[in-house]
Amino acid sequence: MMYFDPGLLFIGFVFMGIGYYVQNKLKSKFHKYSQVSLRKNLSGREIAEIMLRDHDIYDVKVVSVPGKLTDHYNPLNKTINLSPEVYEGRSVSAAAVAAHECGHAVQHATQYAFLKMRSALVPIQTFAGKTMSTMIWVLFPLTMVAPNIMPMNMALLIIIFCYGSFTLFSFITLPVEFDASNRAIAWVTNRQIVTREESFMAKDALKWAAMTYVVVALQSLATLLYYLMLFLRRR
């Protein structure tokens, strides 16, 4: 295995292209729907606060954070962090994103199983990330100049462990994200925050947001399988 493996580069280029397409599609959809004003004329902040109250959640704050597409729910300090465009926005995009992040808060409050599993995997994910960083800068060169100290098979096993962790985490993230979107669409529709047409647009925007996680999961799986095949060939 070379330091810059052609097989790995091929996987990287393929998923880089797919990721670029999905990201562009996502930005295009959110820009398009950000130009569509809600009939209800509610801001993202107002929608988030209403959704939290409807689910009897009173210990979560809705705050504005700088940046674009920086929206997220932080379970550690129980805050729904919305970018200015979403926090102040009164568009279909703002409504979709605000409700989606509230969906994560509802998951947290109801002890959603996949969210608990993902949270439990965070320390392993962090350890795997640090290990891969060490592999790139220290252990990979060592396998080439001193194979007796760090055999190639040992290096491959470490990489397989790391990418196994990445893959597990990314696939567990998928139901978390899809469920949050489903909760969001169901609530804004049933609560009549959006019209039928606006509901379709919100669902379309969140679908493309979820696709970014699908691409990451598939890329991680492809890389894991690639290293696994390399290891099996050397046995």
Q: Rounded to an integer, what distance in angstroms lies between the CA atom of residue 204 and that of residue 34?
A: 13
For residue 134, how far is the Cα from the chain centroid?
Answer: 24
Q: Which of 46, 85, 101, 198 is catalytic?
A: 101
- Residue 2: φ, ψ to 5°: -85, 160
* 9 contacts 221 by C-beta, under 8 angstroms: no
Residue 203's Cβ-side half-sphere holds a number of Cα atoms within 13 Å equal to 14
Q: Look up 101 and say whether it is catalytic.
A: yes
Angle among Cα 12, 17, 21 to the nearest 5 degrees reads 145
Q: Rounded to an integer, what distance in angstroms lies between the CA atom of residue 70 and that of residue 218?
A: 23
Active site members? 101
